[in-house]
């Protein structure tokens, strides 16, 4: 028998899910799967789901593809138009994969998942979606806090000037408080920037820390090129966040090289620098960096984007960032050249294109910078088709199926059984390009014949 003082402990829910499927059995199965962690509401039609959304808010909507009246793709497209902040997930059979891929683009769907689903993998997808929502919310709160602190600093500065003339206020104490306030603001600002970089690298499939390495190279290049003070700081932040505008691009664009993109996909891709400027320009400390980001894909000959600027009309910081970006990119897989270059070949290419793609004077300076820069800027990660997997390779990123499921986790060392399964997966999803992120294998060291002993 319960004691009088007993209070039942209610488990805190992590979010709210709206699940839509015309099969009652599927709805009940999904409700059982999620009800302990989330508040779950179920409906059997798209129309009923839209009526529910008029009355209440949800973090995630999960909809079946094939339903009478309104398909899941149509429902999620309507949700994107009316409730863009809600995470949208589509359930589909293998026979509907083409329609699902189209729906991902039209409805900005977060992930599509094939039936029958794996419970653990489905839980992982939902948890990841909620985590991304929390990161976005934290970033918005941090931005608001920074804006508020800016106002407080302005007020403090104003009062300081007034009291300087009107009273015998202790100026040394006021300066110390102001210095502490600025230091605190700078620390919080740097934390916000690194949160943005983390979100950007995760979404764009970039190696963690790769943005920081590139930014340090850009900063040293800027110093050698005659930039000073705030100019160098603006260039550093621009290099860190240059790909922030790609976060909103669909997977169909992110996972292709420019040469593989359709005309429509190229048009979407060409807006990523504008997207980046728009996302950052309202943050006062990043206004100059956002302008650099907008122009860093311009070319010296005027054939870049988005504004077709040429020569000295391109900001010097943007010309510097384009040189650094291309030097790193052409040593990676799926670059605009269509082949991966070595560091030496990349230098030769930069010199060859000086005066065309790049500012000739800046390229000469960059070659000097590379002689002194002893940090590696190109990661040892490469992407290969799953059919090229070999025993002993190490994954540096999780393998995600076309249905959005995590099949192999980061750090897995491929065994013979793994390779056999990957070959089978390649045959099963013929027509879909699936890539593995693996650690690049170092070439075998050659034996020094001069030092070799007698045979």
Question: pTM of this prediction?
Answer: 0.54
Whether the CB-CB separation of 52 and 18 falls below 8 Å is answered with yes
Look at residue 97 in the predicted model and tell me its pLDDT. Answer: 64
Q: How many CB atoms lie under 10 A from the CB of residue 136? A: 13
Q: For residue 184, what pLDDT is reported?
A: 72
pLDDT for 256 equals: 74
Q: What is the pLDDT of residues 259-315, one digit of tens each?
A: 778 888 888 899 999 999 998 988 888 999 999 999 999 999 999 999 999 999 999
Integer Rg of the chain from CA: 27
Neighbours of 364 (CB within 10 A): 12
pLDDT at site 446: 43
Side-chain-facing half-sphere of 342: CA atoms under 13 Å: 4
Alpha-carbon distance of 113 to 403, in angstroms, equals 5
Cβ distance 201 to 208 under 8 Å? yes
Q: Are 189 and 285 in contact (CB under 8 A)?
A: yes
**Band of pLDDT at residue 375, cut at 50, 70 and 90:** low
Cα(28)–Cα(31) distance, rounded to whole angstroms? 5
Average model confidence (pLDDT) across the chain: 82
Q: Which positions ≥6 away from 404 have C-beta within 8 Å?
A: 111, 112, 113, 114, 125
Tell me how far apart the alpha carbons of residues 76 and 352 are, in angstroms, rounded to a whole number: 49
pLDDT digits (tens, 9 = 90+) for 223-256: 999 999 999 999 999 999 999 999 888 877 777 7
* Least-confidence region, from 23-27, 76-80, 102-106: 102-106
Whether omega before 116 lies within 30 degrees of 0, making that bond cis, reads yes
Q: Provide the sign of the torsion angle of the four alpha carbons 351, 355, 357, 362, taken in this order.
A: positive
Judged against a pLDDT cut of 90, whether residue 385 lies above it is answered with no
The Cα–Cα gap between 409 and 128 comes to 14
- Euclidean distance between CA atoms 331 and 372, whole angstroms: 19
| CA–CA distance, 324 with 337 (Å, rounded to integer) | 16
Q: Is the pLDDT of residue 451 over 60?
A: no
Please tell me the predicted confidence (pLDDT) of residue 175: 67
pLDDT of residue 380: 59
453 has pLDDT over 50: no
Question: What does the alpha-carbon distance between residue 373 and residue 418 come to, in Å, rounded to a whole number?
Answer: 39
Predicted confidence at residue 442, as pLDDT, reads 55
Greater confidence (344 vs 434) lies with 344
Output the pLDDT for position 346. 93
């Amino acid at each position: 028998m319960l004691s009088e003082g007993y209070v039942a402990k209610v488990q805190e829910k992590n979010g709210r899910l709206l699940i839509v499927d015309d099969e009652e059995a599927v709805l009940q199965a999904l409700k059982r799967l999620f009800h302990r962690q989330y508040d779950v509401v179920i409906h059997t039609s798209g129309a009923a789901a839209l009526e529910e959304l008029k009355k209440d808010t949800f973090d995630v909507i999960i909809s079946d593809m094939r339903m009478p009246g309104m398909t899941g793709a149509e429902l999620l497209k309507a949700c994107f138009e009316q409730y863009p902040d809600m995470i949208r997930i589509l359930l589909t059979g293998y026979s509907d994969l083409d329609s699902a891929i189209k729906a991902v683009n039209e409805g900005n769907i977060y992930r599509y998942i094939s039936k029958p689903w794996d419970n653990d993998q489905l839980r992982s997808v939902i948890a990841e979606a909620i985590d991304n929502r929390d990161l976005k919310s934290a970033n918005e709160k941090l931005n608001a806090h920074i804006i508020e602190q800016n106002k407080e600093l302005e007020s403090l500065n104003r009062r300081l000037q007034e009291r300087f003339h009107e009273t015998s206020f202790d100026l040394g104490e006021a300066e110390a408080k102001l210095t502490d306030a600025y230091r605190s603001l700078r620390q919080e600002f740097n934390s916000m920037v690194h949160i943005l970089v983390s979100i950007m690298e995760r979404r764009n499939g970039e190696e963690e820390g790769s943005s920081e390495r590139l930014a340090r190279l850009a900063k040293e290049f800027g110093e050698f090129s005659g930039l000073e003070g705030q100019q160098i700081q603006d260039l550093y932040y621009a290099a860190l966040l240059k790909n922030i505008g790609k976060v909103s691009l669909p997977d169909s664009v992110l996972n292709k090289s420019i040469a593989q993109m359709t005309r429509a996909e190229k048009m979407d891709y060409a807006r990523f620098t504008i997207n980046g400027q728009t996302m950052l320009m309202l943050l006062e400390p990043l206004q100059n960096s956002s302008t650099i980001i907008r122009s860093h894909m311009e070319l010296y000959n005027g054939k870049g984007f988005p504004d077709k600027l040429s020569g000295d009309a391109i900001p010097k910081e943007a010309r510097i960032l384009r040189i650094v970006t291309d030097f790193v990119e052409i040593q990676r897989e799926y670059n605009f050249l269509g082949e991966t270059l070595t560091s030496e070949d990349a230098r030769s290419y930069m010199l060859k294109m000086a005066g065309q793609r790049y500012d000739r004077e800046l390229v000469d300076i960059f070659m000097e910078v590379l002689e002194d820069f002893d940090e590696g800027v190109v990661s040892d990660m490469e992407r290969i088709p799953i059919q090229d997997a070999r025993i002993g390779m190490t994954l540096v990123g999780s393998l995600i199926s076309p249905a959005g499921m995590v099949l192999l986790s980061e750090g897995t060392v491929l065994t013979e059984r793994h390779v056999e399964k990957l070959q089978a997966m390649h045959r099963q999803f013929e027509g879909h390009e699936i890539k593995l992120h693996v650690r690049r294998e170092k070439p075998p060291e050659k034996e020094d014949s001069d030092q070799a002993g007698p045979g």
